Structure 1
Amino acid sequence: MKTASLLSCRLIFRSMLAAIVFTNLCVAAEPSKTPPDLTQDRAVDRELTYNLGATGLRGWIYSKPATYFDGLQGRTTAASRQILVTHVGAKSPADGVLQVDDVILGVDGKLFSEDARKSFALAIQNAEKESSGGVLKVTRWRAGKTEDVQLKLRVLGTYSATAPYDCPKSKKIFEEACVALEKESLPANWHGAISGLALLATGDDAYRPRLKKLAQEIAANALKSERIGMGSWESSYRGLFLG
């Protein structure tokens, strides 16, 4: 009986300790700071930017998670309401419409009222529908003046309910991505492993010689990779490719 009671006490103590730790993580996590007004202050780290999809833009987006758990689950841009343009691709849909240091305040005639990154992504999806004709409406701030402008994107259709399976739009994007990957090198690291998996998924025998060479290079260095810390991510991607 004493042993059972002692075991019960230990279990209760551990449960209480876990609850305290969980509560501290939720409550004591550093709260989200107020995002900067990018129309007033554009002194940000421009090495940390986001690819803004088919627009040809890259932009800085406020990325401070509200809580520790938000950070773990990728909700890092939830507080953002603006996007600072840091790069405009030549001959891209944004070329001639937006420029570096412009600030995107919203889409479709409305200011961002929630996560700017996700809102912009959804607006791109909507613009690519046949019914939208590829028109992406953006609210642009430039040198003190705010106005609505339009970017003309390619019409790619709508994602099916089962995307990426049985989805013409997903299939088209994947095929074009593979054409782009054909021109890229396949290094024997996690970058090459991910690209290799994409090419492998096509089932196209034309890629076999390159993929065989990549597999041999990755396998030759398999025992040299780190097995702890972030090195395990590297090993995982390479292992997936070899598997």
Structure 2
Amino acid sequence: MTRASLDKQPHEVAAMFDDVAANYDLTNDVLSLGQSRLWRRAVARAVDARPGERVLDLAAGTGTSSLPFTAAGAYVVPCDFSLGMLRAGKKRNPFLPLTAGDATRLPFADDVFDTVTISFGLRNIQDTEGALREMLRVTKPGGKVVICEFSQPTWAPFRTVYTEYLMRALPPVATAVSSSPDAYVYLAESIRAWPDQPGLAAALQRAGWTRVAWRNLTGGVVALHRGTKPRNVE
């Protein structure tokens, strides 16, 4: 397999995730040094799903990220464009309504979901702002978006160490634990190329989201961005 390039051609990225689907969740736990579980819990608290609410979980992969919302009583639609990920998820959690979909052309009507969330998938979408506008379209007025994504560590010395880990330590570790280490080299490169916290906040505002804010996790390695859909959107 050829590693997906940073222009993020959708078919290349989908094929890359198809290749890593079987061990994706385990590999993420190893590469994040166990932090990925803490990040998922932070997302669950930010989404704060309630019984009867509708939650769209984009880039849901195998559906692991959707389980806390289901446990809270919400109706959750896990959506991903990797059929390999969805097949792996269906085997593990057959009760989830796993749905194939492109985040830039979502197969849902306007104003459907109380919350749209995406974790570690936005930077893999070719048209970031197009995806943010689609998320706005399918969210109910007054509803919210929650984005968990890799970002830029706020402490300069740590940022240097983190960058060294991404580009030097991550590839050999990925080779040991993943069936497709090239995919994780791409992921490291995509993290380095991704906008910082204010940059993503500005993109959310341009897409039409209001009350945009973020909170750093693990010193800014990850940031949790939030926004609200205005009630007066036409």
Q: Do they fold alike, i.e. is TM over 0.5?
A: no
Structure number with greater Rg is 1
* Larger relative contact order (CA 8 Å, sep ≥ 6): 2
Structure with the higher fraction of residues in strand conformation: 2
Structure number having the greater helix percentage: 2
Q: TM-score range by the shorter chain?
A: under 0.3
| TM-score after normalising by structure 1 | 0.25
TM-score, length-normalised on structure 2? 0.26
